[in-house]
Amino acid sequence: MRLKPILELDDRLSYRLRLVPLESPWRPWAAFLAHSGDSWFWGAGLGLVWLFGSPDWHTRSAFLIIGIFVLAVVVQVIKFSVRRRRPEGEWGAIYRNHDPHSFPSGHAARAAMLMVLGLGLGPPWFGLVLLIWAPLVSAARVVMGVHYLSDVLAGFLLGVMMGFVFLAAFPLLQAVAPFLF
């Protein structure tokens, strides 16, 4: 199977999904959603939960931080193996300058993993919020032009799989948590 026609289709579909007019009233919302999946944002928020949360959330937030870190390593290994350039565009200079590779989307992977973990470990309202938020973050990465559609689909799938792996490992962390934290 030749990959070139698939990549060309991916490029055309991704371009059609972009918010090309810079004056679009949706652009600030899409930019906010695209940034809301940043690892530093989640790391800082979970760090605060770890510091000030209940003992139960102390373990959960540490687990989520570990999950974010491990997933970031996996995503970077894949990105530097595949080396797919990001789509051309004007938005997202920080991503384009510090991480020029687009496949898979780390934001989509992180959002999907957090969604699975939120549904499995958190209160129902938290899981529901993440169930709505994760696909929006993924879509915003395409809409803002920093990823191709296939990048976010692959990232989302990777995040869901890693989320289930981490859910399976959570009982082990709970068992050793008193000795670690």
Contacts of 102 (CB under 8 A, 6+ apart): 79, 84, 85, 86, 87, 146, 147, 148, 151
Q: Which domain holds residue 117?
A: 26-180
Provide the annotated active-site residues. 107, 147
Instruction: Please say if the pLDDT value at position 33 is more than 90.
Output: no
Residue 38 identity: D
CA distance 71 to 163: 9
The answer to the question of residue 59 being in a domain is: yes
H helix count then E strand count, the chain: 8, 0
pLDDT tens digit sequence for 120-140: 988 899 899 999 999 999 999
CA terminus-to-terminus distance, the chain: 50
What pLDDT digit, counting tens, does each position of 75-101 carry?
999 999 998 888 877 766 677 667 788
**Higher local confidence (pLDDT), 174 or 102:** 102
For residue 40, being part of any structural domain is answered with yes
Write down the pTM of the prediction. Answer: 0.85
Is 19 a member of any domain? no
